Amino acid sequence: MFKALAHPLRRRILAELRRGPASATTVAAALGKNTGVTSYHLRELARHGFVEEDPTLGRGKERWWRVRPRDLRTPPLKELSPEAVKQLTELRSVQITEDLEAWGRYQEERFGESEWADTVAFTRGSLGLTRTEFTQFFDEYRALLKRYWRAQEDLPPDARRILVRFIAFPDPDGN
């Protein structure tokens, strides 16, 4: 699953589908690929539960796809095989790289005339927590995200997709 999600083209396909449902043909045109390639990768994403068919849009043999909302949690590392740990580590590196690239694009945009120019929530801090408190803190964070999550079709017209990233880890140089 981690390997499937880390694949560069599949990540681009998922990004395209976050804009709305699409067929293998429309994804191929948007990404400059052929339909056979995008069709294969869409089926692989579906096999792992990341996308699903949208039966309301398909005509004949044409299949339309949409992102399948899901809460992707990873099991504790000690429960994963060494290969799965390696794949998860690679996936997280890809995700952090994408996040930094998105941050750079936002920095370029925000100094323009956009009404969203001053919209950024950024904070840095540290907490002294036990392992149990850390787990509780993260559970409360996820509950907050779920409280504000809405399906694409339920978004108001003036809503914009907000990238929310959270990273918290023990200080390698501290206690």
Residue 173 lies in a domain: no
Q: What is the pLDDT of residue 111?
A: 63
Domain hosting residue 90, numbered range: 77-154
d(CA 51, CA 70): 10
Q: Which residues contact 44 (CB under 8 A, 6 or more apart)?
A: 4, 7, 10
Based on the fold, state whether residues 43 and 94 are members of the same structural domain: no
pLDDT bin (cut points 50, 70, 90) of residue 169 is confident
Q: How many domains does the chain have?
A: 2
Q: Which residues contact 145 (CB under 8 A, 6 or more apart)?
A: 164
Based on the fold, state whether residues 60 and 103 are members of the same structural domain: no
Q: What is the pLDDT of residue 136?
A: 96
- % of the chain surpassing 70 pLDDT: 97
Res 16 pLDDT > 80: yes
Q: Where are the alpha helices (DSSP H) in 8-59?
A: 8-17, 24-31, 35-47
Residue 101 lies in a domain: yes
Q: What is the pLDDT of residue 113?
A: 64
pLDDT bin (cut points 50, 70, 90) of residue 112 is low
Within 13 A of 169's CA, how many CA atoms are on the CB side? Answer: 3
Q: How far is CA 96 from the centre of its chain?
A: 11
- pLDDT tens-place string over residues 34-62: 999 999 999 999 999 999 998 888 777 78
Based on the fold, state whether residues 86 and 36 are members of the same structural domain: no
Based on the fold, state whether residues 61 and 83 are members of the same structural domain: no
Over residues 131-156, the mean pLDDT reads: 90
Quick check: 148 and 154 in contact, CB under 8 A? no
Phi, psi torsion values for 172, nearest 5 degrees: -70, -15
- pLDDT tens-place string over residues 67-98: 987 777 788 889 999 999 999 999 899 989 98
